[in-house]
Structure 1
């Protein structure tokens, strides 16, 4: 929805500002600073947070603004510090202190307003993949970003990218930990360097169409699945259940984001297995579109109905689902599950959240639907006739 066309948004924003923005005064007569003036790029320090925060949060809020200025080049850098370290510190504050998230966002809104530099938008790009704003601030933030969709000097590209990532993080919630230095650097440049993570299957297929026109599934899917098999994942106890080393998983993700599809130095099949699950879970839209969710739940143990649903999926979704089920059938073979201790039930339990996403936020409903989601995936593993998994042309 384009909030710029909603005539009630200015009133909502004005109401938000009156309710949540702190009162700033300036000059000998201590005149009140208008909100529109307060929210403009400045090289001056803040005397108060921009939002009405608890006094215990004031010190951190003011420090965050100074560091944002330092990141953007508006304040001298402390010897020995780096911009990426500063960015990580700001992200950690937002993750550890949720009450500061809106303040961080509004400080960035201020510092990109009437500012010719792109650095603020780069920082906003990183924040938008790390944690969301509060519900109260969502419409304000969405409208602010949309107002820059037609800006020159590539700001439009960055604003559109930030908006997409903001919508995504609103749905998924904050990350469990701050991004690594490598992830931060990638996120800063992501608006101009599309990634195969967090996008829709259609977008991913468009990205690879020129170099891999004959590949019917995303290159990353074939690469990771074949990597698991090449590393003897079918003999690894707890495969798909045991997580891979976090540093190795992050490193492999960064390699792929740089178009380096290479498992050099990786010997543990749990590393590509963990990244495969992450890639599926991180798709912008679920593998089985939400329109099919209720039908999947209600016919979860009916083989004919479950297979008919797969046949009706969009072409790329169907091809990906068939490939993954065929891949899981390799691990469902008795001689394989005896070694991995991963039964069909175990496989279905692990992969169900990567196939289906419950559309409700009700924990009771999510818990109730879980067994049906698992039953649906189990039914597919047991009854779908899939082609043998073979090497795809991914290099």
Structure 2
């Protein structure tokens, strides 16, 4: 995935009787700045019988790239060896800055193209009537496959409709800045009725407001089919709401 840290470790051992100093130097001449390797620590003393761990952080910045990143391991007064990290970056639409995704018009709202794609599939394949929609955990392998296909623009079918609903929640959850994070916590907690909810929602900027309206419209349609899907307004709020703000900042996320 782009802009997410890929981590690996090197375990360094010393077979000699005396301590050895080892320095680690990432070689980052990647064309077009497609990747960046960071090493921590950059230097350490390794004693016999005391293995040391070195962490490699690889950041991928461009989609659909094969990356080979080298780290030079230099022993003071000794040999230099190289460690290669191999990775392939997939195009993606999850966790990507909103400024870098494709936006489209959907029923009067300006939203990233992935949302109408998922929403239409949900409507057309009985998702609104599916029992426990947005609540039931999907098949993990199927969800990964669909996520890759959405990034590549090849998504056409799905065996588990719960994957589609879950990926809508995942898309909102993986935003770098959750859409409701600009609203102070105390104001969020003060919402007790429809009027106060509307008043707080009007504090959002246009982009975040459109994203909120899109998911609310979808959940209204879900709740209208409560007799079939068993998902009333409260159930929808419980399973989707925490994906719209950073729950780690809340003393009690369920509130």
TM range (shorter): 0.5 to 0.7
Alignment of 1:179-218 (within 5 A): 188-190=88-90, 193=91, 195-200=92-97, 202-203=98-99, 206-208=100-102, 212=104, 216-218=110-112
Residue 349 of structure 1: how far off its partner (Å): 0.6
Q: Which of these residues, 124, 145, 156, is aligned with residue 263 of structure 1?
A: 156
Shift of 1:119: 5.2
Q: Hey, what does 2:38 align to over in structure 1? A: none
Higher relative contact order (CA 8 A, sep 6+): 2
TM-score (norm 1): 0.45
Flag as ranges the 4+ runs of structure 1 deviating above 4 A: 21-26, 50-53, 212-215
Q: What is the RMSD of the two structures over their aligned residues, measured on CA atoms?
A: 3.7
* Aligned 8 A contact 1:244 1:268 in 2: yes
Residue 254 of structure 2, aligned match among 370, 385, 393: 370
Q: Give deviations 1:87-121, integer Å, cap 9, x for gaps.
A: xxxxxxxxxxxxxxxx351598x952489x9953x
Between Structure 1 and Structure 2, which shows a larger proportion of helix residues?
A: 1
Q: Distance in 2 between matches of 1:213 and 1:323?
A: 11
Unaligned runs of 5+ in 2: 1-10, 27-43, 59-68, 74-79
Match of 1:293 in 2: 185
Match of 2:20 among 12, 33, 36: 33
Aligned length: 209
Matched, 1:112 2:71: yes
Which residues in structure 2 correspond to 1:149-188 (within 5 Å)? Answer: 188=88
CA contact (8 A) 1:22 1:51 kept: no
Shift in Å, 1:24:
5.2
1:201-350 alignment runs, 5 A limit: 202-203=98-99, 206-208=100-102, 212=104, 216-260=110-154, 262-264=155-157, 266-297=158-189, 299-333=190-224, 336-350=225-239
Q: Greater strand share, 1 or 2?
A: 2
1:48-94 CA-partner distances (Å, limit 9, x unpaired): xx7889x8x96xx8xxxxxxxxxxxxxxxxxxxxxxxxxxxxxxxxx
Are the aligned partners of 1:198 and 1:284 in contact in 2 as well (CA < 8 Å)? yes
SS of corresponding position for 1:105: strand
Aligned-residue offset at 1:347: 0.7
Aligned to 2:29: none
2:241 to 352, 363, 368: 352
Q: TM-score, normalised by structure 2?
A: 0.68
Q: Matched residues in 2 for 1:233 and 1:223: separation?
A: 13
